[in-house]
Structure 1
Amino acid sequence: MKKVWIYLENGIFLEAKSFGSEGTKVGEIVFNTSMSGYQEIISDPSYAGQFITFTMPEIGNVGVNKEDMESYGAFAKGIIVRNYQRRYSNFRAEDSLENFLKKFDVMGICDIDTRFLTKVLREDGSQMMIASTEISDQEELKKILENSPRIEEINYIKEVSAKKSYIHKSATYDARVFRYKEPPEAKAKIVAIDFGVKRNILNNLTEAGLEVEVIPQDFCVEELIERFEKGEIDGVFLSNGPGDPLILKDIHEKIKKLIEKKIPMFGICLGHQLLSISHGYPTFKLKFGHHGGNHPVRNEKTKRVEITAQNHNYNVPENIKDIAEVTHINLFDNTIEGLKYKNSPIFSVQHHPEASPGPHESAYIFKEFADLVIKHKDSK
C-alpha cells in the first residue's frame, strides 16, 4: 500500500496508507456510524463529494457484489477506515472492496485512527479536506485545499442523476431466497425525480403498488404538470441526493409550480429539504450531520420510536411549523424529521425509510404515499 497524506481545513495533518484509487482528491469529511452495509453506503449517490469515515473498524471483510449496489456507481471522493481487510469471505462476494474502489475512482484510506477523526468532526464539525498519494508537503496541500471549491458550491446532482427516463420494475430484495420479489399490480403511476435516488427507494415504491417512472433532474416542469392534468401520472416523488439544497435554485422554481398545482408529492432527504425551501423556508447546515443506521426518531402521531437510517448535513427550520405539521422528531437532537403540509397532498421525511441494510420500522411510509396517490386518483 502507498502512503497517503491528509490535511483537514482545521489544520490537522496526518499520514496513513492508501488502497483503492490514487491521486489527489478534495472533499468534505463526515463520519458514518453504521455497523454494516459499507457497499450500500459507498454506492449511495448522496455521498458525492465526500470522504466517509467509518466508525466500524473492520471494513472490506465481506467483499462486494452486484446485488448490493444502491446506484450504477460510487460517487464519494473516498472512504476512511481503521482496518481494511483484503481477504474477504462471504458466499455472496464477487470481488474485493479495493477493486471496487479502483473501478469507480474512489480513494481508500486505512491504518488511521478513525476514533480520533470522529471526535474531531464531532467537536469541530464536518469540514473540507484533501488527501493525496502524490503530495506529502503540508503547505502545498493546504494551498490546494484553500483554492478548491467547497462542497456547498458544487452541483453534484447533475453528475449522479439519470441521463434519461426509465421505468423501474423491481421490488424489494427477499433475503430468504436471495432474489428480488415480483412487484405487485400497480394501482397508480408516479414519476420519481432523480436527484441521486437509491435503488432500494424505488424498490419500495414499486412494492407499495406504484408504477414508477424515473426522470432526470433537468426535467421539464410544464410537461410534468400537463401529464398530471391529463391523468397520465398520479403523483411525484422527490428523491435523496448530494450537496447543499440551497444552490439548486432552478429546482426550487420547478417544485414551486408543482406545489401550486396540488400534485400529491413525497420527498425523502434532499427531496424533504427541497420541499421546505420551495415553500419559502430555507434549510440550515447541521454541525456534523446525521450519518448512520441507529438514529431514534419519534412518530408524533403514534408516539412510537423508530430506529432509522440517516444521511444528511442539512435540516429544515423550526418555523416551518407555520405551514406544516411535524410528523417525526429526531431524538438525538430534536431536529425535524418529517412534515405533512397543511391543505396540501404533500409530505416528506428526512430519514431513509428504505434502509437496506438496516432498520425497517419506517417502511410503512411508502404505503402511506401509495394510499395518498391512489385516493387522490380515485377522487378526480
Structure 2
Amino acid sequence: MREQALLVLEDGTVFPGLAWGKRGRTTGEIVFSTAMTGYQETFTDPSYHQQIVVMTAPHIGNTGVNDEDGESDRVWTAGVVVRDPARRASSWRATGELEDYLIEHDVVGICEVDTRAITRHLRDRGVMKAGIFSASALPAGADTGSQQARDILIGLVNDSPAMAGAELASVVSTPAPYVVEPRGKFEGQDPVVKIVAVDLGIKNRTPWQLAERGAQVTVVPQATTLQELLTLEPDGVFFSNGPGDPAAATHEIEMLRGVLDAKIPFFGICFGNQLLGRALGFGTYKLEYGHRGANQPVLDRETGKVEITAHNHGFAVDLPVDEATEAPYGEGRYGRVAVSHVGLNDGVVEGLRCLDIPAFSVQFHPEAAAGPHDGEHIFDRFITMIKEVG
C-alpha cells in the first residue's frame, strides 16, 4: 500500500496522489517533459538540477533502467511526477526498476495524478515553484486533507529558491578535468582534432559524439580560467548544456569572449547557446513554460530541413530572427550574427551562427540522448569548421 502524497504548486494549487520513489519532501521549479521514453536519460541530465519533472506521457517505467543509458552518474531531478508507474520493467535491457532507482538516488516522487491537467495548468500559468510531500513528511499532527498542512506546505514552496538568477553550473560541473580519447573507428589513432569541453552540466553522450569523429576531448570544470583553457592549446572549444540562469554565468561569459577574441572555433549546446548569445551582447529571457522533451520540431534555416530534436531549456536568446544582426558587444568586435535554427512550435531562437568569426551554437540537444538522431550532424559541422580554420 502506498501512502498519500501531495503535489503543491506555488500558486496554491494542490494535486493529491500517492507516494512514489523515495518518501519525503522536495521542492524545485516544476516543468513538464513531452518525451514518451528516455526517462532515464532525462532524470540523469544535470540540466534538470533543482527541477521537478512532470512526465506528460501517462505510462512511465515500463523499460526499467540499465547501466548504459544514464547521462551522468546520478539522478539530478529534484522530483518526479508520473500518472501511471509501470508495475514491472519489461525490456530485455533492463537491470532494475525505475522506482528502485529513484529510491537509491534519494529522489522523491508522486504518482496517480493527472499529469495532463498539471501540464495544461503550467502552460496556462507558466512554470513555477512546487513541492512534493509524502504523508509521512507532513508537519506533525497534520494529514493530506488538512488545510492547515496545505497552507504550511504552500509557504515552504514559496520560500524555496527560484530558477531566475540561479547560478547552478558550478554545482553540477566535474570537480577535475578528464579526457575522452577517440572512439569507434578512430580508437587507438592520433586525434583528428583536440577539443576542450567546458562542463556546465555536460551529458555523457556529448563528448562521446565528438570522440566518435576522431576528436580527443578534454572536459574541464566550470571554474577553469581562460588562461588555463588556452594553455591546453585546443583546436576548438565547446560549452555544454547545463542548469540555471545564463545571466548569472558571468565567469563563463567572460571566458567565452576570450575564446572568441582568440578566434578559436567555438560550438555550444543549450546553455552554451545562451552563453554565446550573451557573450555577443544579446539578452536572454525566461520562457513561460520552456521546451522539454524528445519531439520538438526545429527548422534549419540554412538547409530548409525540419529536424525533430530533444530539448531541455527554460531560457532563450533574444535577437531578431529574420536578418543578420551585428553583435552589440564591443562595437562590432564579433561581427554579424544570424539565427540558424528556429523552433516551429513558437518561433523561439534555436541556434546562432556567427558570420565573421568561427562560432556557432544550437539550443537543442543534438547528441540523441534521449531523443532522435536528426541533429547528430551538428557535431560533423563543428569538426569541419575546426579543420577549415586550422
TM tier relative to shorter chain: over 0.9
Matching of residue 56 in structure 1 with residue 45 in structure 2:
no
Which residue matches 1:174? none
State the 4+ residue runs in structure 1 displaced beyond 3 angstroms: 181-185
Deviates more, 1:281-290 or 1:244-253: 244-253
Tell me if the contact between 1:169 and 1:183 (Cα under 8 Å) persists in the aligned partners: no
Amino acid of the structure 2 residue aligned with 1:163? P
Matching of residue 359 in structure 1 with residue 372 in structure 2:
yes
Query: Displacement of 1:322 after TM fit?
Result: 1.5
CA distance in 2, matches of 1:120, 1:170: 46
Q: 1:139 aligns with which of 151, 173, 176?
A: 151
Matching of residue 222 in structure 1 with residue 240 in structure 2:
no
Which residue matches 1:372? 385
Which residue matches 1:326? 339
Matching of residue 109 in structure 1 with residue 110 in structure 2:
yes
CA distance in 1, matches of 2:165, 2:133: 22
Structure 1 residue matching 2:117: 3-state secondary structure:
helix
Structure 2 residue matching 1:284: 3-state secondary structure:
strand
Where does the alignment leave 5 or more consecutive residues of structure 2 unmatched?
A: 139-143, 327-336
Amino acid of the structure 1 residue aligned with 2:150? Q
Aligned runs of 1:95-244 on 2, under 5 Å? 95-133=96-134, 134-135=137-138, 136=144, 137-169=149-181, 171=183, 181=184, 183-184=186-187, 185=189, 186-228=191-233, 233-244=234-245
CA distance in 1, matches of 2:87, 2:44: 19
Which residue matches 1:175? none
Which residue matches 2:330? none
Amino acid of the structure 1 residue aligned with 2:64? G
CA distance in 2, matches of 1:182, 1:146: 52
Which residue matches 1:88? 89
Structure 2 CA distance for partners of 1:154 and 1:2, relative to 1, 3 Å: farther
CA distance in 2, matches of 1:311, 1:183: 31
Once the two structures are superposed, residues 151-189 of structure 1 have per-residue CA deviations (whole angstroms, 9 ceiling, x without a partner) of 224322222111101012375xxxxxxxxx454542110
Amino acid of the structure 1 residue aligned with 2:239? L
Once the two structures are superposed, residues 333-368 of structure 1 have per-residue CA deviations (whole angstroms, 9 ceiling, x without a partner) of 111111111211100000111123422121111001
Tell me if the contact between 1:86 and 1:98 (Cα under 8 Å) persists in the aligned partners: no
Q: 1:348 aligns with which of 361, 367, 373?
A: 361
Deviates more, 1:82-91 or 1:108-117: 82-91
Query: Displacement of 1:191 after TM fit?
Result: 0.5
CA distance in 2, matches of 1:155, 1:94: 35
CA distance in 2, matches of 1:227, 1:64: 37
Where does the alignment leave 5 or more consecutive residues of structure 1 unmatched?
A: 172-180
Tell me if the contact between 2:42 and 2:370 (Cα under 8 Å) persists in the aligned partners: no
Deviates more, 1:127-136 or 1:34-43: 127-136
CA distance in 2, matches of 1:227, 1:65: 35
CA distance in 2, matches of 1:252, 1:18: 41
Amino acid of the structure 1 residue aligned with 2:19? S
Which residue matches 1:35? 36
CA distance in 2, matches of 1:170, 1:309: 25
Tell me if the contact between 2:316 and 2:349 (Cα under 8 Å) persists in the aligned partners: yes
CA distance in 2, matches of 1:170, 1:96: 33
TM-score by length of 1: 0.92
Amino acid of the structure 2 residue aligned with 1:331? L
Amino acid of the structure 2 residue aligned with 1:293? A
